[in-house]
Amino acid sequence: MAKVAVILSGSGFLDGAEIQESVITMLTLDKAGAEYQCMAPDMEQMHVVNHLTGEVSEGEQRNVLVEAARIARMKVIDIAEANPSDYAAVIFPGGFGAAKNLSDFAIKGANSTVQSDVLQFARSFAATGKPMGYVCIAPAMIPHIYGAGAKLTIGSDTDTAAAITEMGGVHINCPVEEFVVDAERKIVSTPAYMLDVRISEAAVGIEKLVHKVLEMIDGK
């Protein structure tokens, strides 16, 4: 049974992992017979957003790993303690947490960096040549992990695509129900909620991404 690392960035799309994208990812893995392990960095969130009003909750702070445990039903580990060799694939669900906590792309754009524990795990895993999937805004981290020339999609947002191009990524426009594959680097990406879509539409692309990642484990 393939074991897949699912890397979360908190809980809640405005300041952490996109919950629906995360759950669809885990559900699809489970239905396909794959085992998964959720993980997240043990760090403070960039900020906390009230998901009722959309406003930043001044003076409030939350921990990314602790919040990720909500989605993972407590079954989550610190990514700093994870061994890349234990996994056959990695998937990053989206949500602003990927651009605020796992990286600072939301603030710095093309000048962004990736959180050190996440970067070390992802680069070590990428070096093994095993497949990785990126959902929603998470593909913005791909140039940091793989270097220039990696093919990816965040959908069709021109400003975000321009920043990724400036970072050395090769952006390809993609509808929500589809995905982009960089066969050389074994990268799969899909837009999901980077586009204004229904949950059923986002699910189609995420499910396809998960199945493609699982196929690539077997060299397909």
- List the catalytic residue out of 29, 38, 136, 145: 136
Structure tokens at 162: 């321009």
Other CB atoms within 10 A of residue 149 CB: 12
Whether 136 is catalytic is yes
d(CA 58, CA 202): 32
d(CA 130, CA 127): 8
CA angle, corner 49, sides to 48 and 50, nearest 5? 125
**Would you say 13 and 44 are in contact if contact means Cβ atoms under 8 Å apart?**
no
The set of catalytic residues is: 136
